[in-house]
Amino acid sequence: MNLRFPTRQRLRGHSQAWLDRHPGIADFLHRTGCMSMRREALARGIAVGLFIGLTPTVGFQTMLMVAGCMMLRGNFPVAFLISWISNPITMGPLYFAFAVLGDAVFGDFVRSLVHISGLLADAALQTIYLGLGSLLVAVPTAAVGYLLSLAIWRALAVRRWRARALNR
């Protein structure tokens, strides 16, 4: 099996055609590192995509991913694709699980800080639990995604080097 990672030349698809029609944006994305094809940039893009995809930021995800990729010099297309871990089908179960996790870990502490009652207070508490629970999942998942992608990339490169050495 010969896995090939994309190069700038191989990225001639719909997104590249759009970037060709918008050279100013393409230049900006290349200067900020958001289109870098280096393995570190790809790994950072995976981390950003996992982190943003696993947080309740629907409606703002793309803007947050662009900002995150610019700050960390991560690959934006990879982040965008990975962020679909949270999609309209998985969003409900994920958000429910995040709220339950947040309540289980931080429930007593948050309830001791919030002393209002009623429907609005319950909604605020559930939103806080959702945010905290998502961070409990998103942070380690992003870190593992970053490290695992670098390890896989390295293993594939070592395998390729060994195959070349055997063919000489």
* Residue ranges in the chain modelled with pLDDT below 70: 1-16
pTM of the model: 0.79
* Structural domain includes residue 21: yes
Map tokens 């949270």 to a residue.
86
Residue 107's CB: how many other CB atoms inside 10 A? Answer: 15
- 8 within some domain: no
Say if 131 falls within a structural domain: yes
Q: What is the pLDDT of residue 1?
A: 53
Q: CB-based burial of residue 162 (10 Å sphere; 0-12 exposed, 13-18 middle, 19+ buried)?
A: exposed
CA 70 vs CA 34, 42, 78, 111, 144: distances in Å = 6, 13, 13, 37, 21
pLDDT at 117: 76
With a pLDDT cut of 90, the percent of the chain lying above it is 51
The whole-chain average pLDDT of the chain stands at 86
Residue 2 confidence (pLDDT): 57
Residue 142's SS3 state is helix
C-alpha R_g of the chain: 20
Count of other CB atoms within 10 angstroms of residue 22: 11
**Inside any domain, residue 150:** yes
The structural domain count of the chain equals 1
Domain that holds residue 84: 14-167
Measured between alpha carbons, how far is residue 145 from residues 29, 59, 64, 148, 153 in Å? Answer: 23, 23, 18, 5, 12
| CA–CA separation, 96 and 126 (whole Å) | 10
- Other C-beta atoms closer than 10 Å to the C-beta of 44 total 26
In a domain, 73, yes or no: yes
Reduced DSSP (H G I as helix, E B as strand, rest coil) percent helix, strand, coil of the chain, to 5? 75, 0, 25
For residue 12, the model assigns a pLDDT of 52
Residue 3 lies inside a defined structural domain of this protein: no
Residue 4 domain-assigned?
no
Residue 1 within any structural domain of the chain: no
43-87 pLDDT, tens digit each? 999 999 999 999 999 889 999 999 999 999 999 989 999 999 888
Q: How far apart are CA 47 and CA 54, in angstroms?
A: 11
Mark 67-93 as b/e (b = at least 16 C-beta within 10 Å): ebbbebebbbbbbbebbeebeeeeeee
Predicted local confidence at residue 9, as pLDDT: 55
Q: What is the pLDDT at residue 10?
A: 55
pLDDT value of residue 4: 59
